[in-house]
Amino acid sequence: MMFDFDVIAKNLPYLLSGVKFTLALACLVIVIGTFLGIVLGLSKLSKNRILRYPANFIVELTRDTPIIMQMFFIFFGLPALGIRLKTFPSAALAMSFFAAGNTAEIVRGAISSLPAGQFDAAKSLGMNYFQMMIYVIIPQALRRMMPPMMGLFTTLIKDTSLAAIIGAFELTRAGQEVIERTFRSLEIYLVVAAIYFIICYPLSYYTRKVEKARVTGY
Amino acid sequence: MVMIEVKDIHKSFGKVKALNGVSCTIQKGEVVVIIGPSGSGKSTFLRCLNHLEKIDHGTIIIDRIPLTDSKTHIHKVREEIGMVFQQFNLFPHLSVLRNITLAQIKVRKRSSEEAEQIARNLLDKVGIPEKADNYPFQLSGGQQQRVAIARALAMQPKIMLFDEPTSALDPEMIGEVLDVMKNLAREGMTMVVVSHEMGFAKEVADRVIFMDEGKIVEEGTPDQLFNNPREERTRVFLSKVLK
Protein backbone atom coordinates (compact mmCIF):
# COMPACT_ATOMS: atom_id res chain seq x y z
CA MET A 1 0.00 0.00 0.00
CA MET A 2 1.34 3.39 -1.00
CA PHE A 3 1.34 6.41 1.31
CA ASP A 4 -1.53 8.53 0.00
CA PHE A 5 -0.76 12.24 0.12
CA ASP A 6 -3.92 13.06 -1.79
CA VAL A 7 -6.21 11.86 0.97
CA ILE A 8 -4.44 14.20 3.36
CA ALA A 9 -4.74 17.22 1.10
CA LYS A 10 -8.40 16.51 0.44
CA ASN A 11 -9.36 16.06 4.06
CA LEU A 12 -7.15 18.63 5.71
CA PRO A 13 -9.84 21.36 5.76
CA TYR A 14 -12.20 18.97 7.56
CA LEU A 15 -9.50 18.09 10.09
CA LEU A 16 -8.78 21.77 10.65
CA SER A 17 -12.46 22.36 11.40
CA GLY A 18 -11.92 19.80 14.17
CA VAL A 19 -8.91 21.74 15.41
CA LYS A 20 -11.19 24.70 16.03
CA PHE A 21 -13.23 22.65 18.48
CA THR A 22 -10.12 21.15 20.06
CA LEU A 23 -8.78 24.64 20.73
CA ALA A 24 -12.18 25.92 21.88
CA LEU A 25 -12.50 23.01 24.29
CA ALA A 26 -8.94 23.47 25.57
CA CYS A 27 -9.39 27.22 26.07
CA LEU A 28 -12.69 26.76 27.87
CA VAL A 29 -11.20 24.09 30.13
CA ILE A 30 -8.08 26.15 30.85
CA VAL A 31 -10.05 29.28 31.75
CA ILE A 32 -12.66 27.54 33.92
CA GLY A 33 -10.14 25.12 35.40
CA THR A 34 -7.66 27.84 36.32
CA PHE A 35 -10.27 30.04 37.95
CA LEU A 36 -11.88 27.17 39.85
CA GLY A 37 -8.46 25.73 40.68
CA ILE A 38 -7.26 28.95 42.29
CA VAL A 39 -10.41 29.10 44.42
CA LEU A 40 -10.00 25.43 45.40
CA GLY A 41 -6.27 25.81 46.05
CA LEU A 42 -6.78 28.81 48.33
CA SER A 43 -9.62 26.98 50.09
CA LYS A 44 -7.30 24.01 50.69
CA LEU A 45 -4.90 26.38 52.44
CA SER A 46 -7.64 28.03 54.48
CA LYS A 47 -7.76 27.60 58.23
CA ASN A 48 -11.54 27.45 57.92
CA ARG A 49 -12.70 23.81 57.85
CA ILE A 50 -15.92 24.68 56.03
CA LEU A 51 -13.77 25.77 53.10
CA ARG A 52 -10.94 23.30 53.50
CA TYR A 53 -12.72 19.96 53.83
CA PRO A 54 -14.98 20.25 50.75
CA ALA A 55 -12.06 21.61 48.72
CA ASN A 56 -9.88 18.65 49.75
CA PHE A 57 -12.69 16.26 48.85
CA ILE A 58 -13.29 17.74 45.40
CA VAL A 59 -9.59 17.92 44.58
CA GLU A 60 -8.94 14.32 45.61
CA LEU A 61 -11.97 13.15 43.66
CA THR A 62 -10.82 14.83 40.46
CA ARG A 63 -7.20 13.78 40.83
CA ASP A 64 -7.73 10.17 41.83
CA THR A 65 -10.26 9.09 39.21
CA PRO A 66 -9.55 8.74 35.48
CA ILE A 67 -10.63 11.72 33.46
CA ILE A 68 -12.47 9.39 31.08
CA MET A 69 -14.59 8.09 34.00
CA GLN A 70 -15.51 11.65 34.89
CA MET A 71 -16.57 12.18 31.29
CA PHE A 72 -18.58 8.92 31.21
CA PHE A 73 -20.21 9.80 34.50
CA ILE A 74 -21.36 13.20 33.25
CA PHE A 75 -22.41 12.08 29.77
CA PHE A 76 -23.83 8.61 30.48
CA GLY A 77 -24.46 8.72 34.23
CA LEU A 78 -26.13 12.06 34.88
CA PRO A 79 -29.05 11.48 32.47
CA ALA A 80 -30.28 8.88 34.99
CA LEU A 81 -30.71 11.83 37.37
CA GLY A 82 -32.47 13.82 34.67
CA ILE A 83 -29.46 15.94 33.77
CA ARG A 84 -28.77 15.65 30.07
CA LEU A 85 -25.79 17.44 28.58
CA LYS A 86 -24.63 17.30 24.98
CA THR A 87 -21.25 15.78 24.15
CA PHE A 88 -19.23 19.00 23.98
CA PRO A 89 -20.48 20.50 27.28
CA SER A 90 -20.06 17.10 28.97
CA ALA A 91 -16.45 16.91 27.87
CA ALA A 92 -15.85 20.53 28.85
CA LEU A 93 -17.36 20.04 32.29
CA ALA A 94 -15.46 16.84 33.06
CA MET A 95 -12.17 18.27 31.88
CA SER A 96 -12.71 21.53 33.76
CA PHE A 97 -13.04 19.55 36.99
CA PHE A 98 -9.90 17.63 36.17
CA ALA A 99 -8.06 20.87 35.36
CA ALA A 100 -9.35 22.55 38.52
CA GLY A 101 -8.22 19.69 40.75
CA ASN A 102 -4.73 19.72 39.29
CA THR A 103 -4.50 23.52 39.29
CA ALA A 104 -5.56 23.54 42.95
CA GLU A 105 -2.60 21.32 43.83
CA ILE A 106 -0.22 23.54 41.84
CA VAL A 107 -1.57 26.67 43.56
CA ARG A 108 -1.36 25.07 46.98
CA GLY A 109 2.16 23.81 46.35
CA ALA A 110 3.40 27.15 45.03
CA ILE A 111 1.96 29.14 47.92
CA SER A 112 3.10 26.77 50.65
CA SER A 113 6.61 26.73 49.17
CA LEU A 114 6.98 30.46 49.80
CA PRO A 115 9.02 31.37 52.89
CA ALA A 116 6.84 31.90 55.98
CA GLY A 117 8.62 35.23 56.43
CA GLN A 118 6.73 36.68 53.46
CA PHE A 119 3.43 36.11 55.26
CA ASP A 120 4.88 37.48 58.51
CA ALA A 121 6.18 40.61 56.79
CA ALA A 122 2.86 41.31 55.06
CA LYS A 123 0.89 40.78 58.27
CA SER A 124 3.27 42.88 60.34
CA LEU A 125 2.62 45.79 57.96
CA GLY A 126 -1.07 45.62 58.81
CA MET A 127 -2.25 43.98 55.59
CA ASN A 128 -5.44 41.95 55.76
CA TYR A 129 -5.72 38.51 54.12
CA PHE A 130 -6.75 39.79 50.69
CA GLN A 131 -4.13 42.53 50.55
CA MET A 132 -1.48 40.02 51.58
CA MET A 133 -2.56 37.50 48.94
CA ILE A 134 -3.02 39.98 46.09
CA TYR A 135 0.07 42.14 46.53
CA VAL A 136 2.59 39.83 48.18
CA ILE A 137 1.83 36.14 47.97
CA ILE A 138 0.09 35.50 44.63
CA PRO A 139 2.56 37.49 42.48
CA GLN A 140 5.38 35.36 43.87
CA ALA A 141 3.39 32.14 43.72
CA LEU A 142 2.47 32.79 40.06
CA ARG A 143 6.13 32.66 39.15
CA ARG A 144 6.50 29.28 40.78
CA MET A 145 3.24 28.10 39.25
CA MET A 146 4.21 28.91 35.66
CA PRO A 147 6.19 25.76 34.71
CA PRO A 148 3.74 23.23 36.19
CA MET A 149 0.75 25.18 34.84
CA MET A 150 2.20 25.17 31.34
CA GLY A 151 2.77 21.45 31.68
CA LEU A 152 -0.85 21.02 32.75
CA PHE A 153 -2.07 23.09 29.77
CA THR A 154 -0.13 20.82 27.40
CA THR A 155 -1.69 17.77 29.03
CA LEU A 156 -5.15 19.32 28.79
CA ILE A 157 -4.79 20.12 25.09
CA LYS A 158 -3.75 16.52 24.37
CA ASP A 159 -6.47 15.09 26.61
CA THR A 160 -9.23 16.94 24.77
CA SER A 161 -8.86 13.98 22.38
CA LEU A 162 -10.66 11.88 25.01
CA ALA A 163 -13.82 13.83 24.17
CA ALA A 164 -13.91 11.83 20.91
CA ILE A 165 -14.83 8.74 22.94
CA ILE A 166 -18.18 10.20 23.96
CA GLY A 167 -18.58 11.50 20.40
CA ALA A 168 -17.81 15.17 20.86
CA PHE A 169 -16.59 16.70 17.63
CA GLU A 170 -12.98 17.84 17.78
CA LEU A 171 -9.72 16.97 16.01
CA THR A 172 -9.53 13.28 16.94
CA ARG A 173 -13.23 12.73 16.17
CA ALA A 174 -12.80 14.53 12.86
CA GLY A 175 -9.92 12.19 12.08
CA GLN A 176 -12.00 9.13 12.95
CA GLU A 177 -14.78 10.33 10.66
CA VAL A 178 -12.37 10.81 7.78
CA ILE A 179 -10.95 7.31 8.36
CA GLU A 180 -14.45 5.83 8.39
CA ARG A 181 -14.95 7.32 4.91
CA THR A 182 -11.49 6.69 3.42
CA PHE A 183 -10.05 3.74 5.41
CA ARG A 184 -6.70 5.62 5.48
CA SER A 185 -5.78 5.20 9.16
CA LEU A 186 -2.04 5.59 8.68
CA GLU A 187 -2.12 8.90 6.85
CA ILE A 188 -4.91 10.48 8.83
CA TYR A 189 -3.71 9.51 12.31
CA LEU A 190 -0.25 10.68 11.34
CA VAL A 191 -1.60 14.08 10.35
CA VAL A 192 -3.80 14.29 13.45
CA ALA A 193 -0.81 13.49 15.67
CA ALA A 194 1.28 16.06 13.79
CA ILE A 195 -1.33 18.75 14.41
CA TYR A 196 -1.36 18.01 18.17
CA PHE A 197 2.42 18.17 18.10
CA ILE A 198 2.43 21.53 16.34
CA ILE A 199 0.06 22.94 18.98
CA CYS A 200 1.80 21.46 22.01
CA TYR A 201 5.48 21.68 21.14
CA PRO A 202 5.77 25.48 21.49
CA LEU A 203 4.18 25.19 24.93
CA SER A 204 6.62 22.49 26.04
CA TYR A 205 9.50 24.46 24.62
CA TYR A 206 8.41 27.62 26.39
CA THR A 207 7.94 25.68 29.67
CA ARG A 208 11.58 24.62 29.59
CA LYS A 209 12.65 28.20 28.99
CA VAL A 210 10.58 29.43 31.92
CA GLU A 211 12.07 26.72 34.14
CA LYS A 212 15.58 27.81 33.22
CA ALA A 213 14.74 31.48 33.85
CA ARG A 214 13.63 30.62 37.39
CA VAL A 215 17.07 29.40 38.30
CA THR A 216 18.53 32.85 37.71
CA GLY A 217 15.60 34.88 39.10
CA TYR A 218 14.46 35.06 42.72
CA MET B 1 2.84 56.25 79.70
CA VAL B 2 2.61 52.50 79.33
CA MET B 3 2.98 51.33 75.71
CA ILE B 4 3.05 47.57 76.11
CA GLU B 5 1.56 45.62 78.98
CA VAL B 6 1.97 41.86 79.07
CA LYS B 7 0.39 39.77 81.81
CA ASP B 8 1.13 36.11 82.40
CA ILE B 9 1.21 34.96 78.77
CA HIS B 10 1.61 31.31 77.86
CA LYS B 11 2.31 29.77 74.49
CA SER B 12 2.95 26.16 73.50
CA PHE B 13 3.92 24.62 70.19
CA GLY B 14 2.56 21.10 70.53
CA LYS B 15 4.24 19.72 73.63
CA VAL B 16 6.93 22.39 73.74
CA LYS B 17 6.16 25.21 76.10
CA ALA B 18 7.69 28.29 74.49
CA LEU B 19 6.35 30.87 76.93
CA ASN B 20 5.55 29.92 80.47
CA GLY B 21 4.01 32.89 82.23
CA VAL B 22 5.71 36.04 80.98
CA SER B 23 4.73 39.45 82.34
CA CYS B 24 6.29 42.82 81.68
CA THR B 25 5.50 46.46 81.11
CA ILE B 26 7.23 48.67 78.60
CA GLN B 27 6.96 52.45 78.70
CA LYS B 28 6.64 54.79 75.73
CA GLY B 29 10.07 55.64 74.39
CA GLU B 30 11.76 52.79 76.21
CA VAL B 31 14.37 50.63 74.48
CA VAL B 32 14.26 47.08 75.77
CA VAL B 33 16.73 44.43 74.65
CA ILE B 34 15.85 40.80 75.25
CA ILE B 35 18.71 38.33 75.52
CA GLY B 36 18.81 34.64 76.28
CA PRO B 37 19.91 31.28 74.89
CA SER B 38 18.26 29.96 71.73
CA GLY B 39 14.96 28.29 72.51
CA SER B 40 14.41 30.53 75.51
CA GLY B 41 11.22 31.93 73.99
CA LYS B 42 12.48 35.44 73.26
CA SER B 43 11.51 35.43 69.57
CA THR B 44 8.17 33.86 70.39
CA PHE B 45 7.57 36.59 72.96
CA LEU B 46 8.29 39.25 70.34
CA ARG B 47 6.02 37.57 67.78
CA CYS B 48 3.19 37.47 70.30
CA LEU B 49 3.35 41.24 70.70
CA ASN B 50 1.97 41.81 67.19
CA HIS B 51 -0.07 38.63 67.19
CA LEU B 52 2.03 36.76 64.62
CA GLU B 53 1.73 34.04 67.25
CA LYS B 54 -1.54 33.61 69.07
CA ILE B 55 -1.08 33.25 72.80
CA ASP B 56 -2.75 30.36 74.65
CA HIS B 57 -3.66 32.53 77.58
CA GLY B 58 -2.78 35.75 79.32
CA THR B 59 -3.28 39.33 78.17
CA ILE B 60 -1.36 41.72 75.96
CA ILE B 61 -2.34 45.38 75.87
CA ILE B 62 -0.73 47.55 73.21
CA ASP B 63 -1.28 51.29 73.59
CA ARG B 64 -4.40 50.62 75.68
CA ILE B 65 -5.85 48.18 73.15
CA PRO B 66 -6.15 44.57 74.35
CA LEU B 67 -4.83 42.23 71.61
CA THR B 68 -6.74 39.24 72.85
CA ASP B 69 -10.10 40.98 72.81
CA SER B 70 -12.17 39.49 69.98
CA LYS B 71 -13.40 42.99 69.10
CA THR B 72 -9.88 44.20 68.46
CA HIS B 73 -9.08 44.59 64.80
CA ILE B 74 -5.67 42.98 64.72
CA HIS B 75 -4.71 44.63 61.40
CA LYS B 76 -5.32 48.03 62.94
CA VAL B 77 -3.04 47.25 65.88
CA ARG B 78 -0.34 45.89 63.58
CA GLU B 79 -0.28 49.16 61.63
CA GLU B 80 1.10 50.73 64.79
CA ILE B 81 3.77 48.06 65.35
CA GLY B 82 6.69 47.85 62.94
CA MET B 83 8.64 44.61 62.77
CA VAL B 84 12.10 43.80 61.46
CA PHE B 85 13.05 40.18 60.92
CA GLN B 86 16.25 38.19 61.02
CA GLN B 87 15.84 37.18 57.37
CA PHE B 88 14.80 40.71 56.26
CA ASN B 89 11.71 39.33 54.46
CA LEU B 90 11.67 42.01 51.79
CA PHE B 91 9.21 41.34 48.99
CA PRO B 92 11.50 39.97 46.24
CA HIS B 93 9.15 40.78 43.37
CA LEU B 94 8.99 44.49 44.20
CA SER B 95 11.56 47.26 43.88
CA VAL B 96 13.00 48.81 47.03
CA LEU B 97 10.74 51.83 46.60
CA ARG B 98 7.66 49.68 46.08
CA ASN B 99 8.56 47.57 49.12
CA ILE B 100 8.38 50.73 51.19
CA THR B 101 5.29 52.29 49.57
CA LEU B 102 3.06 49.20 49.25
CA ALA B 103 1.59 49.09 52.74
CA GLN B 104 1.52 52.89 52.99
CA ILE B 105 -0.74 53.02 49.94
CA LYS B 106 -2.84 49.91 50.54
CA VAL B 107 -3.09 49.94 54.32
CA ARG B 108 -2.53 53.57 55.33
CA LYS B 109 -4.38 54.76 52.19
CA ARG B 110 -1.80 57.39 51.34
CA SER B 111 -1.49 58.78 47.82
CA SER B 112 1.36 57.27 45.85
CA GLU B 113 3.09 60.67 45.68
CA GLU B 114 3.01 61.04 49.44
CA ALA B 115 4.09 57.44 50.00
CA GLU B 116 6.98 57.83 47.60
CA GLN B 117 8.12 61.05 49.28
CA ILE B 118 8.11 59.31 52.66
CA ALA B 119 9.92 56.30 51.22
CA ARG B 120 12.67 58.46 49.69
CA ASN B 121 13.14 60.39 52.92
CA LEU B 122 13.49 57.14 54.84
CA LEU B 123 15.96 55.72 52.32
CA ASP B 124 17.98 58.88 52.88
CA LYS B 125 17.78 58.33 56.59
CA VAL B 126 19.01 54.72 56.39
CA GLY B 127 21.77 55.84 54.02
CA ILE B 128 20.85 54.20 50.69
CA PRO B 129 18.84 56.75 48.68
CA GLU B 130 20.45 55.49 45.46
CA LYS B 131 18.92 52.01 45.81
CA ALA B 132 15.28 53.07 45.39
CA ASP B 133 14.85 51.41 42.00
CA ASN B 134 16.87 48.28 42.71
CA TYR B 135 15.40 44.92 43.60
CA PRO B 136 16.14 43.25 46.93
CA PHE B 137 18.35 40.54 45.40
CA GLN B 138 20.67 43.26 44.08
CA LEU B 139 21.37 44.50 47.62
CA SER B 140 23.76 43.27 50.29
CA GLY B 141 22.32 41.85 53.50
CA GLY B 142 23.01 45.03 55.42
CA GLN B 143 21.32 47.12 52.75
CA GLN B 144 18.33 44.79 52.65
CA GLN B 145 17.93 45.03 56.40
CA ARG B 146 18.08 48.82 56.24
CA VAL B 147 15.34 48.77 53.58
CA ALA B 148 13.31 46.49 55.87
CA ILE B 149 13.69 49.02 58.68
CA ALA B 150 12.62 51.83 56.32
CA ARG B 151 9.63 49.75 55.23
CA ALA B 152 8.49 49.31 58.82
CA LEU B 153 9.13 52.96 59.69
CA ALA B 154 7.13 54.16 56.70
CA MET B 155 3.97 53.12 58.51
CA GLN B 156 4.93 55.57 61.26
CA PRO B 157 4.50 52.96 63.97
CA LYS B 158 4.43 53.67 67.67
CA ILE B 159 6.49 50.59 68.46
CA MET B 160 9.30 48.82 66.60
CA LEU B 161 10.05 45.14 67.15
CA PHE B 162 13.41 43.74 66.05
CA ASP B 163 13.81 39.98 65.87
CA GLU B 164 17.56 39.28 65.80
CA PRO B 165 18.06 41.94 63.11
CA THR B 166 21.80 41.38 62.71
CA SER B 167 22.06 37.60 63.15
CA ALA B 168 21.94 36.84 59.43
CA LEU B 169 24.44 39.52 58.48
CA ASP B 170 28.11 39.30 57.65
CA PRO B 171 30.18 40.90 60.44
CA GLU B 172 31.16 43.94 58.39
CA MET B 173 27.51 44.83 57.80
CA ILE B 174 26.29 44.62 61.38
CA GLY B 175 27.53 48.12 62.22
CA GLU B 176 25.53 49.87 59.52
CA VAL B 177 22.28 48.28 60.72
CA LEU B 178 23.01 48.93 64.40
CA ASP B 179 23.75 52.59 63.59
CA VAL B 180 20.29 53.00 62.09
CA MET B 181 18.77 51.37 65.17
CA LYS B 182 20.78 53.58 67.53
CA ASN B 183 19.53 56.70 65.76
CA LEU B 184 16.00 55.44 66.04
CA ALA B 185 16.44 54.83 69.76
CA ARG B 186 17.76 58.37 70.24
CA GLU B 187 14.72 59.78 68.48
CA GLY B 188 12.54 58.25 71.18
CA MET B 189 11.06 55.25 69.41
CA THR B 190 9.67 52.53 71.66
CA MET B 191 11.78 49.53 70.74
CA VAL B 192 11.82 45.88 71.72
CA VAL B 193 14.92 44.16 70.38
CA VAL B 194 15.81 40.50 70.51
CA SER B 195 19.53 40.47 69.92
CA HIS B 196 22.87 38.91 70.67
CA GLU B 197 24.59 42.26 70.24
CA MET B 198 25.66 42.93 73.81
CA GLY B 199 27.49 46.09 72.75
CA PHE B 200 24.25 47.51 71.36
CA ALA B 201 22.40 46.55 74.53
CA LYS B 202 25.01 48.27 76.73
CA GLU B 203 25.00 51.40 74.64
CA VAL B 204 21.34 52.10 73.96
CA ALA B 205 19.11 49.84 76.07
CA ASP B 206 17.15 51.37 78.92
CA ARG B 207 16.49 47.89 80.16
CA VAL B 208 17.78 44.40 79.41
CA ILE B 209 15.63 41.33 79.93
CA PHE B 210 17.20 37.90 80.27
CA MET B 211 14.89 35.04 79.30
CA ASP B 212 15.36 31.31 79.72
CA GLU B 213 12.98 28.37 79.36
CA GLY B 214 10.00 30.55 78.49
CA LYS B 215 10.35 32.84 81.47
CA ILE B 216 11.88 36.18 82.34
CA VAL B 217 14.72 35.22 84.66
CA GLU B 218 16.03 38.68 85.37
CA GLU B 219 15.73 42.25 84.15
CA GLY B 220 17.43 45.52 84.87
CA THR B 221 19.50 48.32 83.43
CA PRO B 222 22.38 47.16 81.22
CA ASP B 223 24.78 48.09 83.99
CA GLN B 224 22.96 46.01 86.60
CA LEU B 225 22.41 43.02 84.38
CA PHE B 226 25.82 42.83 82.76
CA ASN B 227 27.95 43.83 85.74
CA ASN B 228 25.97 42.55 88.73
CA PRO B 229 23.60 39.78 87.63
CA ARG B 230 21.57 38.46 90.56
CA GLU B 231 20.71 35.08 89.09
CA GLU B 232 23.10 32.20 88.56
CA ARG B 233 21.54 31.39 85.18
CA THR B 234 22.15 34.93 83.97
CA ARG B 235 25.77 34.73 85.09
CA VAL B 236 26.30 31.42 83.28
CA PHE B 237 24.76 32.77 80.07
CA LEU B 238 26.72 36.03 80.17
CA SER B 239 29.99 34.24 80.87
CA LYS B 240 29.42 32.30 77.64
CA VAL B 241 28.54 35.25 75.41
CA LEU B 242 30.78 37.94 76.86
CA LYS B 243 34.08 36.11 76.76
Query: A39-62 as b/e, with b when 16 or more CB fall inside 10 Å?
Result: bbbbbbbeeeeebeeebbebbeeb
pLDDT bin (cut points 50, 70, 90) of residue B71 is confident
- The pLDDT of residue A214 is 60
| H helix intervals, B57-140 | 74-79, 96-106, 112-125
DSSP state of A136: I
- The pLDDT of residue A190 is 95
- The pLDDT of residue A158 is 95
Task: Using a CB–CB cutoff of 8 Å, tell me whether A63 touches chain B.
Answer: no
CB pair distance less than 8 Å for B52 and A127:
no
**Count of structural domains within chain A:** 1
Do the Cβ atoms of A70 and A97 come closer than 8 Å? yes
- The pLDDT of residue A218 is 52
Helix (H), strand (E) at residue B25: strand B16-27
Do the Cβ atoms of A42 and A54 come closer than 8 Å? no
Q: What is the pLDDT of residues A103-139, one digit of tens each?
A: 999 999 999 999 999 999 999 999 999 999 999 999 9
Cα torsion through A40, B89, B195, B123, rounded to 10: -150
Helix (H), strand (E) at residue B8: strand B2-13
ipTM for the assembly: 0.94
| Helix and strand element counts for chain A (H, E) | 9, 0
Among B43, B46, B49, B52, which would you mutate to test the A interface (most chain A Cβ atoms within 10 Å of its Cβ)? B52
Helix (H), strand (E) at residue B10: strand B2-13
- The pLDDT of residue B68 is 79
Do the Cβ atoms of B29 and B190 come closer than 8 Å? yes
CB pair distance less than 8 Å for A143 and B93:
yes
Task: Using a CB–CB cutoff of 8 Å, tell me whether B115 touches chain A.
Answer: no
Domain that holds residue A185: 5-217
Whether the predicted model's global pTM rises above the 0.90 cut: no
Q: What is the pLDDT of residues B104-113, one digit of tens each?
A: 999 999 999 9
Q: What is the mean pLDDT of residues B51-66?
A: 93
Please list the rounded mean pLDDT of every run of 10 residues in chain A (218 residues). 85 95 97 96 93 95 93 95 94 96 96 96 95 94 90 95 94 95 93 96 88 61
Measured CA distances, B118 to B125, B127, B153 (Å): 10, 14, 10
Burial of B168 (0-12, 13-18, 19+ CB in 10 A): middle
% of chain B at pLDDT higher than 90: 92
Strand arrangement, sheet containing B31-35:
B81-84, B159-163, B190-194, B31-35, B207-212, B215-220
Q: What is the pLDDT of residues B191-226, one digit of tens each?
A: 999 998 999 999 999 999 999 999 999 999 999 999
Query: B28-60 as b/e, with b when 16 or more CB fall inside 10 Å?
Result: eebbbbbbbeeebbbbbbbbbbbbbbebeebeb
Task: Using a CB–CB cutoff of 8 Å, tell me whether A117 touches chain B.
Answer: yes
Mean pLDDT (chain B, rounded): 94
Taking CA–CA distances from B156, the nearest residue in chain A reads: A125
* A-chain residues near B147 (CB < 8 A): none
Taking CA–CA distances from A131, the nearest residue in chain B reads: B106
The Cα–Cα gap between A143 and A141 comes to: 5
Q: What is the pLDDT of residues B79-89, one digit of tens each?
A: 999 999 999 99
- The pLDDT of residue B118 is 97
**Residue A210's CATH number:** 1.10.3720.10
Strand arrangement, sheet containing B2-13:
B16-27, B2-13, B57-62, B65-66
Among B52, B87, B89, B139, which would you mutate to test the A interface (most chain A Cβ atoms within 10 Å of its Cβ)? B89
